[in-house]
Structure 1
Amino acid sequence: MKKTNGRWIVVTLLFVATTINYMDRAILGVAGPSMMKDLSLSTVEFGILGSAFFWSYALMQIPIGVIVDKLGARLTYSIAIVWWSLCTVFTGFSRSLGALIGVRVLMGIGEAPAFPTNTRVISDWLPSHERGVANGIFNSGTAIGIGMTTPILAWIIEKWGWQASFIIIGFLGFVWLAFWLFFFKNRPSQSRITNKVEVEYIEDGQSDTKNVPAVNISPFKFLKYRSVWSLLYGLFAHNYLIYLMMTWLPTYLVVERGMTLLKAGFFTMLPWIMSFLGNILGGLLSDYLIKRGWNSIKARKTILAIGMLFPLAILPTIYTESATASLMFISLAIGGEGLAAGILWATVSDVAPKGAEGKLAGLQNFVGNLAGWIAPVATGILIAKFHNFTIALIIPVVFCCIASLSYTFLIKNERILIQKTDIDKGNKVAG
């Protein structure tokens, strides 16, 4: 019997969901110049609006990790995408700063399950040696959602106004939901898109956890393990860079580099096309190293450390007067950092003990998305104070270089072995 490829249908669904997720977040950055003009928002007020989503998004990560591990991915994702899609639509009907902040906070709650759920699905549906490219594929949806749809969003805004962009994009989630419910089940063995040969292939490729009992552990007890600290800080550094660019890059090109909104929308695609390619390449490289006999965690952290050095390419942007050159440097930085972005979540799957992937992913996403609280507001304040983007662009470079060092020296080349004292009562120790 020939092996089916249902697992790649599932990865495609995760990719599309992530693309929609980030489109819903990124509309704000594209609509920024129009919204600031229409609603008379200052750069600081717009920065606060940009961070409002992350207030609830970050805080929800800890409980969401527990919920995903208990309820399963199918139900969790279904509720989440309906919630956040409705909030995106309602954003288009909001006419005051207070109303917009309220809707963005609610939207953060709805989008909170996405990445912990993605991580759990990849862990359940993919053999270890395919998780890198699978994570690279779904995470590349962030680049598509942020950048490659920007010209379309800019065109919608120019033609029908910023409100219409939120309403139109908000309905995409309901289309995705129909496919999710039709194709996806929590386990490959339960699905209509897999056969016995594929299920056995997946299970054989999960040999590192196949005979290991699942553990029940409080997310905060992960903080006792040094590998976890590197994962938490690394996602914070990554997100600071990405959320700064997501919120401010179109405005940077319009205000600092004198482009029209449509032109900025078109050229904003380039960094995210590079990021898309970097995500896929990072996954392929780490999986290639594993197939060559490397320890899976060593392979992942090597690519993570290399990828986190590419933001250094942002520094020449500060000294060039050419809009084209500055965009090239930013594109190199975002594309190279994509090598790391593509396997951030695969590393969680490799490091977390069996049955606790969602919890560790939730903890990582909580800390990582504190960057969303800081980056948009801090950038707005720095622009208002210095009347340029110089300091704002240096900060994420420093953060990412420190992350490179932490991946190199803090992550152990082994799955976390939970101490007996950290296991919730009634569960066995993994290993």
Structure 2
Amino acid sequence: MKKTNGRWLVVVLLFIATTTNYMDRAILGIAGPSMMKDLSISVVEFGVLGSAFFWSYALMQIPVGVIVDKLGARLTYSIAIVWWSLCTVLTGFGRTIGALIGIRVLMGIGEAPAFPTNTRVISDWLPSHERGMANGIFNSGTAIGIGITTPILAWIIENWGWHASFVVIGSVGFVWLAFWLFYFKNHPSQSRIANEAEVAYIEAGQEKKENVPTINISPFKFFKYRNVYPMLYGLFAHNYLTYLMMTWLPTYLVTERHMTLIKAGFFTMLPWIMSFLGNILGGILSDSLIRRGWNSIKARKTILAIGMLFPFAIIPTIYTENAMTALLLISLAIGGEGLAAGILWATVSDVAPKGAEGKLAGLQNLFGNLSGWLAPVVTGVLVAKLHNFTLALIIPVVICAIASFGYAFLLKNERISLKEDPTNGSNVSGF
């Protein structure tokens, strides 16, 4: 019997969900000037509004990891996308800064399960040697949602107004939900889109599930394992650069590089196109190494370590006066870092004990998104005090370089085993 390819339809659904997720985040920044003028919102108030999402999003990562492992991906994602889509729609009806901040905090709760759920789905639906590519595909939705859809979102705001833009973009999630419920089941063997041959193929490429009660284990237990730390810090480093650029790149191009706002908005797409390509390439490269016989974690961490060195391309921008040269260097940095972005979550699937992927993914996403609290604010303070972006651009380079070292030398090539005590030296991934 020839095997079906239903697992890749599932990956496409995750890609669309991730794109929708980031469109719902990015539209606030695009609609910002219109909102500030219409509602008399100050720059400081709008900065608080932009960060409010991350207050709840980061803090919810631990409980949502537990929820994903307990309820399963199908139900968790269904609830999550309805929640965050409703919040996006409601944003269009906000009339005061207090109401808008409250909606954004609620939206952070709704979007919190997305990446832990994606990780669990990839772990359940893909053999190990295809997870890098699958993670690269779904994670590339972040680049699409942040940058490449910008002209579409701007067109909606220009023609229909900022109120309508939130309603239109928020409605996309409900369309996705119909396809998710129709096609997706928690396990390939339960689904109509995967035949017996494909199920056998998936199971043959997965590790045997450990016979441990992972469902009752606290996510904080993972702090006992050395392998967790470079992963937590690595996502923090990746997100610091991502959120810095997502928040400040257009302003940098206008104030530091003297581009017009329209030109800056158009060229802002270039780094995210490079990020999209980097996401896909990182997955392909890591999966290729695994097919050549590499240990899956060794393959992932090699690409992770290389990808996190690309931000060094930002340093020459400090010394060049040409705006396009600076933009190309920034695009190289973000695109190269995209090599790592595509497999950050595949690494969780390889390192976490089977059945506890959601918990470890939630813990990683908690620490990774603390950078959402810091990067925009730290950058703003530095630019205000120094009247340039020099130090603000150096900081993420240093942070990412440390992450590269952690992946290369601290992340061990072994899945965490909860049956062993990490304090007795029997597990190489523990202290």
TM range (shorter): over 0.9
Give 2:183's aligned residue.
183
Show the 5 A alignment for 1:352-367. Answer: 352-367=352-367
Give 1:337's aligned residue.
337
Structure-2 separation of matches of 1:89 and 1:211:
43
Shift, 1:164, TM fit: 2.9
Q: Is 1:209 matched with 2:211?
A: no
Structure-2 separation of matches of 1:38 and 1:261:
19
Q: Is 1:294 matched with 2:309?
A: no
Is the CA contact (8 Å cut-off) linking 2:210 and 2:353 kept in structure 1?
no
Structure-2 separation of matches of 1:389 and 1:43:
19
Shift, 1:76, TM fit: 0.4
Q: Equivalent residue of 1:226, what SS?
A: coil
Give 2:53's aligned residue.
53
From the superposition, tell whether residues 99 and 379 of structure 1 become closer, same or farther in structure 2 (CA, over 3 Å). farther
Structure-1 separation of matches of 2:333 and 2:145:
18
Give 2:411's aligned residue.
411
Shift, 1:102, TM fit: 1.3
Give 2:200's aligned residue.
200
Shift, 1:2, TM fit: 1.1
Deviation per residue, 1:344-402 (Å, 9 max, x gap) = 00000000011110000000001111111111222222233233322222221111111
Structure-2 separation of matches of 1:250 and 1:158:
18
Q: Equivalent residue of 1:418, what SS?
A: coil
Is the CA contact (8 Å cut-off) linking 1:214 and 1:354 kept in structure 2?
no
Deviation per residue, 1:177-232 (Å, 9 max, x gap) = 010000000000000101000000000011x2246555242100100111100100
Structure-2 separation of matches of 1:86 and 1:318:
42
Shift, 1:316, TM fit: 2.0
From the superposition, tell whether residues 36 and 375 of structure 1 become closer, same or farther in structure 2 (CA, over 3 Å). farther
Give 1:130's aligned residue.
130
Show the 5 A alignment for 1:48-87. Answer: 48-87=48-87
From the superposition, tell whether residues 240 and 211 of structure 1 become closer, same or farther in structure 2 (CA, over 3 Å). closer
What is the identity, as a one-letter code, of the residue corresponding to 1:209?
K
Give 2:426's aligned residue.
none
Q: Equivalent residue of 2:214, what SS?
A: coil
From the superposition, tell whether residues 127 and 410 of structure 1 become closer, same or farther in structure 2 (CA, over 3 Å). same
Shift, 1:319, TM fit: 2.6
Deviation per residue, 1:307-348 (Å, 9 max, x gap) = 001111112222333221221111101100000000000000
Is the CA contact (8 Å cut-off) linking 1:28 and 1:247 kept in structure 2?
no
Give 1:426's aligned residue.
none
Give 2:428's aligned residue.
none
Structure-1 separation of matches of 2:391 and 2:44:
16
Deviation per residue, 1:38-88 (Å, 9 max, x gap) = 455555433322211010001100000000000000010001001101111
Shift, 1:26, TM fit: 1.2
Structure-1 separation of matches of 2:73 and 2:192:
16
Shift, 1:37, TM fit: 4.5
Give 1:382's aligned residue.
382
What is the identity, as a one-letter code, of the residue corresponding to 2:160?
W
Give 1:227's aligned residue.
227
Structure-2 separation of matches of 1:405 and 1:169:
40
Structure-2 separation of matches of 1:82 and 1:338:
29
> Mind listing any 5+ residue stretches in structure 2 that lack a counterpart?
423-431
Q: Is 1:283 matched with 2:288?
A: no
From the superposition, tell whether residues 41 and 386 of structure 1 become closer, same or farther in structure 2 (CA, over 3 Å). farther
Show the 5 A alignment for 1:230-379. Answer: 230-379=230-379
Structure-1 separation of matches of 2:330 and 2:33:
21
Is the CA contact (8 Å cut-off) linking 2:297 and 2:413 kept in structure 1?
yes
Q: Is 1:150 matched with 2:150?
A: yes
Structure-1 separation of matches of 2:47 and 2:322:
26
Structure-2 separation of matches of 1:315 and 1:265:
23
Is the CA contact (8 Å cut-off) linking 2:210 and 2:354 kept in structure 1?
no
Give 1:118's aligned residue.
118
Q: Equivalent residue of 2:25, what SS?
A: helix
Structure-2 separation of matches of 1:36 and 1:388:
25
Shift, 1:259, TM fit: 3.4
Structure-1 separation of matches of 2:290 and 2:336:
21
From the superposition, tell whether residues 415 and 404 of structure 1 become closer, same or farther in structure 2 (CA, over 3 Å). same
Give 2:30's aligned residue.
30
From the superposition, tell whether residues 105 and 118 of structure 1 become closer, same or farther in structure 2 (CA, over 3 Å). same
TM-score by length of 1: 0.94
Structure-1 separation of matches of 2:306 and 2:96:
44
Give 1:166's aligned residue.
166
Shift, 1:246, TM fit: 1.4
Give 1:429's aligned residue.
none
Structure-2 separation of matches of 1:123 and 1:149:
29
Is the CA contact (8 Å cut-off) linking 1:47 and 1:378 kept in structure 2?
no
Q: Which of 141-150 and 370-379 deviates more?
A: 370-379
Structure-1 separation of matches of 2:319 and 2:36:
28
Structure-1 separation of matches of 2:85 and 2:334:
27
Q: Which of 152-161 and 335-344 deviates more?
A: 152-161
Structure-2 separation of matches of 1:44 and 1:297:
43
Structure-2 separation of matches of 1:161 and 1:256:
29
Give 1:93's aligned residue.
93
Q: CA RMSD in A?
A: 1.7
Is the CA contact (8 Å cut-off) linking 2:250 and 2:268 kept in structure 1?
yes
From the superposition, tell whether residues 178 and 66 of structure 1 become closer, same or farther in structure 2 (CA, over 3 Å). same
Deviation per residue, 1:113-148 (Å, 9 max, x gap) = 000000000000000000000000000000111111
From the superposition, tell whether residues 196 and 419 of structure 1 become closer, same or farther in structure 2 (CA, over 3 Å). closer
Identity of aligned residues (%): 81
Structure-2 separation of matches of 1:252 and 1:32:
16
From the superposition, tell whether residues 349 and 21 of structure 1 become closer, same or farther in structure 2 (CA, over 3 Å). same
From the superposition, tell whether residues 406 and 43 of structure 1 become closer, same or farther in structure 2 (CA, over 3 Å). farther
